[in-house]
Amino acid sequence: MQIKDFIKKYDTQNQFKVLKETYKQALDAWNNKIDLSQLKKEKYSSIVFCGLGGSAIRVICFVIIYQEN
């Protein structure tokens, strides 16, 4: 059985494609500039990311990139 057969059989909701295209969501988020300059830094100590399912993958990638910079 080839990989495409496994995907067709076990991935009925096409989550493999969603995961493969995660980089597109990251690019969209990266290019979506939000002006946070008016926020007072002393009022905030944390940022919360919310989502469902595989959303944590994106957050982990963001944290790794942020820590490297």
In the chain, where are the structural domains located? 3-34+45-68
pTM: 0.42
User: Tens digits of per-residue pLDDT, 11-60?
Assistant: 888 888 888 887 887 788 788 887 877 877 777 788 776 665 666 776 77
**48, 38 contact by CB (below 8 A):** no
pLDDT at 64: 77
Give the 3-state secondary structure of residue 43. Answer: helix
Residues 51 and 40: their CA atoms lie apart, in Å, by 26
Helical residues (DSSP H) of the chain, grouped into ranges: 3-10, 15-20, 22-31, 55-68
Give the 3-state secondary structure of residue 28. Answer: helix
